[in-house]
Amino acid sequence: MQTPYCPASRPTGYGLIELCATLAVVGLLCAVALPSFQYNMARLRADNLRMQLHATLSMARATALTRRKRTHLCPSSDGTTCGTEWADGWLLFEAADKAGKDPHPIVPLMVERRAPSTVRVLHTQHRLRVQFRHDGRNAGRNLSLYICAGDRLHSEIKVSITGRVRSNVLRRSLRCAVP
């Protein structure tokens, strides 16, 4: 019995040149997409910070109303003392005395610690501590907090004199500075 003649077939698979060309195209696409991806991640972190801070401010007001005591919310990086950077975390506590003049928190109600990131929080006033009176009103003037994603202003949180907390994402892309 004779075997049929089979011509030599061309080898299948990918060669080194095809593989290098494919890797070059993938590398180019990644280089183009990476800055956009980083900006989107910064925006997501800023959204997360805005929502958490809004919820905590609302909880501080509700706590003041339900417990009928003055509550304080201040930036804190260690969870035990007030600091200066809202983006590092915050501390919610009850006032130690009726006037709320004791600088040491006696009853911590909530501690939020945040990982370092490119998100920053700016404020318009030199008052970092937010106080809610027993009736839910803000114990000071209106307060505005501005959240920056990278070098762009992303959103704002406002606490009115009546204690109402509201936040919104800014539609205009402005440089990160207090307006």
Domain 45-175 architecture: 3-Layer(bab) Sandwich (3.55)
Q: Which of 87, 80, 90 has its CA nearest to residue 57?
A: 90
Domain boundaries, the chain: 45-175
Give the Å distances, CA to CA, from 167 to 9, 85, 122: 68, 19, 14
12-54 pLDDT, tens digit per residue, is 777 888 888 999 998 888 888 777 788 888 889 899 999 999 9
Q: Are 111 and 89 a contacting pair, CB within 8 Å?
A: yes
* Whole-prediction pTM: 0.76
Span 48-71, average pLDDT: 93
Span 86-101, average pLDDT: 76
